[in-house]
Structure 1
Amino acid sequence: MKIAIVVDSTAYLPEALLKKNDIYTIPLNIVFGESSYREGIDISTEEFFKRMNESDSLPGTSQPSIGDYILLLESLRREGYTDVISFHLSAGISGTYQSAVSAGESVEGINLHVIDTEIACYVQGFMALYAAQNKDKKPLEDILTDVNEMKKKEHTDAFFIVDTLNNLQKGGRLTNAQALIGSMLKVKPVLTFEDGKIVPYEKIRTMKKAVRKVEADLETVFEKHKGKKITAVVIHSNAPERAAEWQKHLEEKFPDVLFRQSYFGPVIATHLGEGALGIGYTTYDIDTAE
């Protein structure tokens, strides 16, 4: 048995970390007008934000085509892989998971095990890293059992703080009136995942108060899991300085937690907008060193 690990591009794992752990990626697409771009391949995150800010309407997003996924699976089969564990952003917000399932049914000679992580970004990457780092140490069935347990909220979770309501309004998730009132009140929605869907967690005035609310809840969680190796990641939407400042503060506040920094790439940032912050964590033992 030879196992390959695949993760979709919305995990936004560093290239060095992907290479070190022999993890393959399948890109989602960002669409401006009639042109489609594979995120991380055809368009950089910097170029994406520039084009999005110059546009009156939001770009579109789409999951990988089944054809692209089939090509990846056939390539892995030729390399001698017998099984693939594929990790994808929540099926509650994207059709990527279902595309992977369909692709697996179309390719013979290789077994595809598709995981709906029920979350997104670097936090879904935690699960891919765990599988990659244990695929030669544990039986396949044990790894599948572990990652399905790992995605439960008591082990892995995330919070996202939206800085601007513009993208939510452009995307039809807020009316113009709601966006105007929210902006006037400086409302910063805090979001999380429940049953694979993004749901409101809190609505707080000012980014500073929203960050402190998230920190207070993290303190409760980290205290509950004291003694475990907790890995956390600060995620930003084109706001690296803000993320670095928050990460430094968190490292001082929670010295026993290992913190990393990541970003919201084009597909996720399309919906959250510029300036958003996020934080996710896992209590499972993984190595995130590049």
Structure 2
Amino acid sequence: MKIAVVTDSTAYLTKEEQEKYNIHVVPIPLTIDGQSYQEGVDISNAEFYDKLAHSSTFPSTSQPPVGEMIELYQQLAAEGYDAAISIFLTSAISGFVNTVTQLAEQLKDQIKIIPFDSHITVKLMGYLTIEAAKEVAAGKDLDTILANLDKLRQTFHSVFVVDDLQNLVRGGRLSNASAIVGSILKIKPLLTMDTPSYSIEAFEKVRSMKRAKLRCEQIFEEKIAQADYPIHAIVIHANAPEAGQKWLNKLSADHPEVTFELGYFGPVIGTHLGQGALAIGWMCDTDRRPL
């Protein structure tokens, strides 16, 4: 069976990773001040955050056009693919994976589409996609690949803090917004997607960004101490590379046993989190312990 791997642009894979692992990336559309863009295609991170800072209206995101998705899967079928593992951002914040589930039925006579809800987004999802591609290249069967992706997905964890809740609240992406709206501006809610529904939820309130980051570090330390596998962690920033790098340096010094890297929130996720957001995401390091 010839298997393709498909994901969306919020995986934030580099062009080199896409080519190396033969991953097909679907760009997510966004609109700022009436102008439409495709993430990863015609707007850079720097351009997006500059527009976000000066936009007169709240940016919006949408699903890729159904027609384009049909064309993609039909093209894959024409190239000889029998199946397409399709790993997309969590259904808790986007209906994209549900749309593809419907397409799977519509196109079942042409190609077997396997929608896979990542339960997350950003580079954690990117590594889930890379794992799928590696297993395809290794010749593993479809059931084994999906079982291993589920194992890896279960190791995903995240904790983050935003500098301004306005975007999350206005975009309707904060599931318990009523619990924190109206708080003093200096209060920084800690957020996570480690929830039963994998939606973004606030779970603690901390005064000041400094204390919020410290609490994130404490939670990270507590969680990784419970893990029975090596950890790969990503410090993720929304147009705050210096702050992200500084935090990564501290975490690396505190946890030399962990593999760290610096990631970013691109335009689509940045639309909802706003500039200045910081996060720690972590997972099993499959380079050190294969699934």
Normalising by structure 2, report the TM-score.
Answer: 0.90
The residue identity in structure 1 corresponding to 2:36 is: S
Verify the 8 A CA contact 1:66 1:102 in the aligned structure 2: no
Report the alpha carbon displacement of residue 286 of structure 1 after superposing the two structures with TM. Answer: 4.3
Aligned residue among 218, 221, 224 for 2:220: 218
Report the alpha carbon displacement of residue 102 of structure 1 after superposing the two structures with TM. Answer: 2.4
Verify the 8 A CA contact 1:158 1:280 in the aligned structure 2: yes
Calculate percent identity across the aligned residue pairs: 37
Report the alpha carbon displacement of residue 241 of structure 1 after superposing the two structures with TM. Answer: 0.6
Report the alpha carbon displacement of residue 104 of structure 1 after superposing the two structures with TM. Answer: 2.4
Q: Distance in 1 between matches of 2:168 and 2:66?
A: 29
Q: Distance in 1 between matches of 2:60 and 2:73?
A: 26
1:87/1:169 CA distance change after superposition, 3 Å? closer
The residue identity in structure 2 corresponding to 1:127 is: L
Tell me if 1:40 matches 2:40. Answer: yes
Paired position in structure 2 for 1:128: 129
The residue identity in structure 1 corresponding to 2:226 is: K
Q: Distance in 1 between matches of 2:44 and 2:19?
A: 19
Verify the 8 A CA contact 2:33 2:57 in the aligned structure 1: no
Query: Is the deviation greater in 251-260 or in 101-110?
Result: 101-110
1:213-237: CA deviation from partner (whole Å, max 9, x where unpaired): 11111112222225x3321111100
Q: Which runs of 5+ in 2 are unaligned?
A: none
The residue identity in structure 1 corresponding to 2:284 is: T
Paired position in structure 2 for 1:260: 261
Verify the 8 A CA contact 1:67 1:103 in the aligned structure 2: no
What secondary structure does 1:119 align onto?
Answer: coil
Paired position in structure 2 for 1:110: 111
Normalising by structure 1, report the TM-score.
Answer: 0.90
The residue identity in structure 2 corresponding to 1:95 is: G
Q: Distance in 1 between matches of 2:60 and 2:145?
A: 35
Verify the 8 A CA contact 1:28 1:267 in the aligned structure 2: yes
Paired position in structure 2 for 1:8: 8
Q: Distance in 2 between matches of 1:95 and 1:286?
A: 32
Paired position in structure 1 for 2:280: 279
1:8-46: CA deviation from partner (whole Å, max 9, x where unpaired): 111112222222211110111111243321111122221
Verify the 8 A CA contact 2:32 2:57 in the aligned structure 1: no
What secondary structure does 2:184 align onto?
Answer: helix
Verify the 8 A CA contact 2:29 2:61 in the aligned structure 1: yes
Verify the 8 A CA contact 1:133 1:286 in the aligned structure 2: no
What secondary structure does 1:182 align onto?
Answer: coil
Report the alpha carbon displacement of residue 156 of structure 1 after superposing the two structures with TM. Answer: 1.1
Paired position in structure 2 for 1:251: 252
Q: Distance in 1 between matches of 2:129 and 2:169?
A: 33
Give me the CA root mean square deviation.
2.0
What secondary structure does 1:113 align onto?
Answer: strand
Q: Distance in 1 between matches of 2:238 and 2:184?
A: 20
Aligned residues: 280
Verify the 8 A CA contact 1:165 1:182 in the aligned structure 2: no
Q: Distance in 1 between matches of 2:3 and 2:20?
A: 15
Q: Distance in 1 between matches of 2:250 and 2:29?
A: 34
Q: Distance in 2 between matches of 1:135 and 1:278?
A: 30
Q: Distance in 1 between matches of 2:267 and 2:151?
A: 29
Verify the 8 A CA contact 2:156 2:281 in the aligned structure 1: yes
1:22-171 to 2 correspondences below 5 Å: 22-107=22-107, 108-137=109-138, 138-152=140-154, 155-168=155-168, 170-171=170-171
What secondary structure does 1:41 align onto?
Answer: coil
